[in-house]
Amino acid sequence: MSATRKHPVTPDGRYFVVNGRLWRMSNPALAPEERQALVDRLMHARRQVGIALKAGDAEAERRARAAVDAAKHALGERGPVWWTDGAPDFNRRLAANTPYADWYAALASGDPA
């Protein structure tokens, strides 16, 4: 994400939070050029989903959604975690129901702790 983050990022840099839900960040070990190529692939695939939906083409939608999933796996946002310390994955879980609960509650209360 950019220097001016739209969504809070967990202190360990593994997740960002949208509407109280954790979403896995891209693998920070990806080279910038590789990451950008994968993001470009992801955005293209997402556009293809929209085109397929608009056309009512279920097969094209299936292919486009598979391409989105493949790009997200390559970015490290889905599939096996990119960290190596054995910590579990809390992707798509409510922050309040994870070990990040206190951190997230402090954000909501305005306490920078």
CA 88-1-76 angle, 5° bins: 40
Structure tokens at 80: 């096996």
Residue-level pLDDT at 65: 98
> Which regions in the chain score pLDDT beneath 50?
1-4
Distance CA 24, CA 61 (A): 24
Domains in the chain: boundaries: 1-25+89-113, 31-76
Structure tokens at 14: 């593994």
Comparing CA positions, the residue from 91, 87, 110, 113 lying closest to residue 102 is 113
Q: What pTM does this model have? A: 0.85
Residue-level pLDDT at 4: 46
Distance CA 1, CA 64 (A): 24
Residue 27 CB partners (closer than 8 Å, separation 6+): 75, 76, 82
Long-range contacts, 105-113 (Cβ 8 Å, 24+): 107/8, 107/17
Residue-level pLDDT at 103: 96
